[in-house]
Each structure stands twice: as C-alpha cells, then as structure tokens.
Amino acid sequence: MTEGPRLTPSQRAEIEAWENSPLSLEDFEARVRAPWSDREREDFDDLVRWFRTRYPTAGERLRAIRHRMLQLRQRTERVDR
C-alpha cells in the first residue's frame, strides 16, 4: 500500500469538518454512483489483498470483523454517554 499525503493540522481539521458535514440525498447518490478512479481501485485491491493475507480463512475473517464491530460498538457507547 502507498502512504497517504502528509497533512498539516489545519488541513486535517478542514477535511474532518468536510467529512462530518451531512450530505444531501442528491450528493450521497452522486458519490455512490460515481465511478472509481484508478487510484481508488488500486487502494481497494491493496486493502483486500492485505486482509486476505492477514486473515486467510473465512473463519478468521469473520472473527476479525466481529471483533472490530464489537470495538466500534463499545467506542460508540462511550461517546454517547
């Protein structure tokens, strides 16, 4: 996998604000239906390759996903309190 760009704190804040802003239904639909760039396809393929190497069997993959979902659920519950 290639390393992402290095961001300044102000750039990171700007991106986080943009990522956390709500999308209209039209904007959401446009993003979902937009074709992937070559870079996006390569990144996706790299992630799938890594995941399948790290978790070679279906059982290991399911365990990893269940574990991650539990972590995310616990983190969400802490934030909601």
Domain count, the chain: 1
- Burial annotation 30-41 (CB, 10 A radius, 16+ → b, else e): eeeeeeeeeeee
Query: Taking the model in full, what pTM does it have?
Result: 0.57
> Is 2 inside a domain boundary?
no
Q: pLDDT tens digits, the chain, 81 residues: what are they?
A: 567 778 899 999 999 998 899 999 999 999 899 999 999 999 999 999 999 999 999 999 999 999 999 999 998 887 766
Task: Report the pLDDT value the prediction gives residue 1, as an integer from 0 to 100.
Answer: 54
pLDDT, residue 81, reads 66
Q: Which range marks the domain in which residue 30 is found?
A: 9-80
CA 51 from centre of chain:
13
Domain assignment present for residue 3? The answer is no
